[in-house]
Structure 1
């Protein structure tokens, strides 16, 4: 896959919010993934998708037994003969069962995702299949065999550590893919975090107002108003900084993404707010000064468990006496987090290298150790499921535009799998998203 450079013309088009992205999914629903053959995959760019790993006959046989048994038990193996497809629920269709089971036998969930990227299986409802699997994740493997989990997982690679240099490289691998790519599925606010809706199911044209509602709730939580000195850790494409500056705040916002920084500055200048917002290409560990309020939206997931103490210490040091910190964070159960922390996953390999979703317990522990107390904590995971559904529908509807940007079919299947996989996590309540208020002091 070749990623084209982002031209000044495309940056200006994005800054002016004129990209032609449909506000609603076309009639008939989102487009399904294009059929794909391994023979058509670029072996240089996707070596682990082209190559079927050697799992050995024993591991492949175990994977075939366990996975086929689970798929049958959960009614995910497709409609019975003679049944109308519309009369059945979500199902999975295997095109190359040998490769499918061999990949899972060797690499577990990474192999499951790579098999989808290779076109070895498809689904009539990808998010639906993944939601069913996520909702029964603890039942898929019999208890006596869970002790063998290490046979199907590998440790996280050392090069993904979020050192000062590593964090910049990890952020660039995701957020610097192309601003134009993100614009194909985000709403015109270019906000890449959970929205907050007023009704379900959410309509695509309700996404931008829902993103503003989420941002405004965070700014209210941090008590941001005229004259507030605000530090934002994780700029995104600048929408929160824009809304804070429109309230009269003085904003310093930090990012490690050069692509995001450039576009955020252009959007801020176009809004006439450049005198109130400074975008810095800077690591959170190098933040300077003290602020009345600190806001960080879905940034902690990119920090990595090793650096959570440094993250909360940086938040505490940036806080002026009497200040308030508003966080938005994705969370998972504590035991699930501990397993994930020790495991190289599909998401860490292909989407967010070095990242880890924290548990509520981990946030409480590390924030308290930094001298902060949790004054408010509110979850709204069902809103993230809807946000991801809309992003996925917009992305699949924009396949020709994504192809035109230079992203090949394997990337497109990988990205659709990532969005559906994430949506399934929230629909099954395996994941949650929360807004927290942190202040000085420790819990009583």
Structure 2
């Protein structure tokens, strides 16, 4: 019979897994962008850590990450320091997959790997964390994405096309997150997860840890066998391992009530109280971010797009939106991308038959490289579309968003000024998109570019 805390923990992980999987599916169907569904990168705390250096140094996020990534990263870090790795034990969808595989392996009698054999790789995730961050911060792009099992899970609905485009990521998903976890519970979490590596470091200084009363302990080893992370709980007064995910399985398995518990300074917390406290902090932080307008899952101009406008093209964009991103007319874009002249201009690139948006980028770069210098990135202000965001327009002309707003006579603190389509901003400002076109002309005439 499942205890209440374990049941609620399973429900919590299952709901987060179901929700994020549904969002991932909808992203594949609807697409991203200001009015679309965010990619999984924007809903992953590790994306915040990957973009942290770029954000601090240049105020820009890496492609596919967003302010939401950074907010989640900071919230998870705070939760870990104050309550332990509750995110890993109660929320993380990838952890839920790994733990479910471990439970399945246990049920069908899959032989377990000896403890001495599985312990050597505990620090491998720290090495992976350092390597990923060094290369990500150096090159300014998500270097782990082709190998990320969570990204692969999010693209499962794409079928064989997605598998063939990112085979290593799917191999990691099926072999290490699922397959290996049947032999060693949460195999990926223990040895390979870079986010787990970062939280391992924070858990070492966490205020909340499992504490054991040696006087009432009967040394039965039930806590050791119950731990999904393979921690030896029975030999410690206070569990200092950074691998503890605050799941409470060891506490729930103890036959002597009160022998194990979570210690927060002088207070003792049950697994249920700890888990609910972590979930409360998580949802409260999300609610505050939403209410204050800080929560944004789309960031129009990534670091990559700022230096290379072609990198700002996504599959969810229409021909007209993509053309505006690189400073071309729709006709020029169609020619450069090798499309038929009759191609629909209001359909997402990813939905156009036989179109590979990555190949389109290659063709566009070649076209722009061969174009006269005076034409590169130059867009007639009269060609600015209401579907473009103000941040996209500002990037094309090298102007600040606030300067454009001021020149157009719109409030400089207009809500959603950066991420919403111009037609929506015009509605909120009680104005028209033509005002932005006129403002751009004025600023360019003053040498604003």
Tell me whether the two structures share a fold, i.e. TM-score over 0.5.
no
TM-score normalised by the chain length of structure 2: 0.23
Which structure's CA Rg is the greater one? 2
Higher helix share: 2
Greater relative contact order (CA < 8 Å, ≥ 6 in sequence): 1
TM-score normalised by the chain length of structure 1: 0.23
